Amino acid sequence: MTQPLLSVRDLVVSYDGGLPAVSNYRVDLLPGTLTVILGRNGAGKTSTLRGITGFLAHEAGTARGTISVRGEVVRRPGPLRLSKLGVGLVAERDKVFVNMTVQDQLRLVTSRRPDVEEIFEFFPRLRERRAVRAGLLSGGERQMLATALVLLRKPSVLLVDELSLGLAPGVVRELMGHLRRLADERGLTILAADQAVHASLHVADEVQVMDSGSLVASGPLDSLDIDAVLDAYLGRHER
């Protein structure tokens, strides 16, 4: 059986010592696959990705659980440790410097021209817009830049939070298509949390549905009665 690249068991995330925002979350990410976490506002998607990567200190949040990378339990997981093990996070609300050009931001992360060239090959739109300040990019282009800045660090696992936030359906489909290509062409292993149900299901290998901090469904797309699960937990109107 193929070994998961990243496994999570019994993840619990709480804020300010309150009731858990995430309870007993688990996942196995197989190499080169794309898993999506779906759930309505406040379901616990962002907290799950923060809990895995340890980006909780600024949120007065705590996480416990077991995270393994390539079969090895990660001792004292946290942002730096996970990053060194090749786990990258594209955080919700794009983290780009609005006054810097696309090209300058990419060069902040790497001085290797071939790496920047590779990014431009993958995102031709960023090449076209390379001399433009990030503040003038469209929402979709900003998300491409935010993703590119993480990709330059050459992760093998990419966690992506709400790529579709505030974007038009056509742009969301394009961005989801990029995630699919990153898995297929680059062999990246991806866990993406999103509310864009249709676009996510179109590209996913595995699907997880969260409600009130708990998983209510999880498995390969073709093994789930996805319509029933989504009707029950997202409501037909949100699909």
Ligand X SMILES: Nc1ncnc2c1ncn2[C@@H]1O[C@H](COP(=O)(O)OP(=O)(O)OP(=O)(O)O)[C@@H](O)[C@H]1O
Give the binding site for ligand X (CB under 6 A): 15, 21, 39, 41-47, 59, 162, 195
Q: How far is the CB of 44 from ligand X (least distance, A)?
A: 4
Q: Which is nearer to ligand X, 102 or 159 (CB)?
A: 159
CA angle (133, 135, 137) in 5-degree steps: 80
Min separation Cβ 181 and ligand X, Å: 25
The answer to whether 48 touches 23, Cβ cutoff 8 Å, is: no
CA 153 to chain centre: 15
Question: In terms of CB distance, is 37 or 102 closer to ligand X?
Answer: 37
Query: Considering beta carbons, is residue 58 or 76 the nearer one to ligand X?
Result: 58
Of the pair 10, 121, the CB lying nearest ligand X is at 10
Closest to ligand X by CB, 32 vs 39, is 39
Provide the minimum distance between the beta carbon of 15 and ligand X in the complex, in angstroms, as a whole number. 3
CB of residue 173 to ligand X, shortest distance in Å: 19
> Least CB distance from residue 53 to ligand X, whole Å?
13
Structural contact between residues 61 and 47, judged by C-beta atoms closer than 8 angstroms: yes
Task: State how far the alpha carbon of 199 is from the alpha carbons of 114, 140, 151, 202, 218, in Å.
Answer: 31, 14, 22, 5, 18
What is the smallest separation between the CB atom of 208 and ligand X, expressed in angstroms? 12
Cα separation of 55 and 49, whole Å? 8
For ligand X, the closer CB: 20 or 86: 20
Tell me the DSSP string of 59-128.
Answer: GTEEEEEEEEETTEEPSS--HHHHHHTTEEEE-SS----TTSBHHHHHHHH---HHHHHHHHHH-HHHHH
DSSP 8-state symbol, 237: G
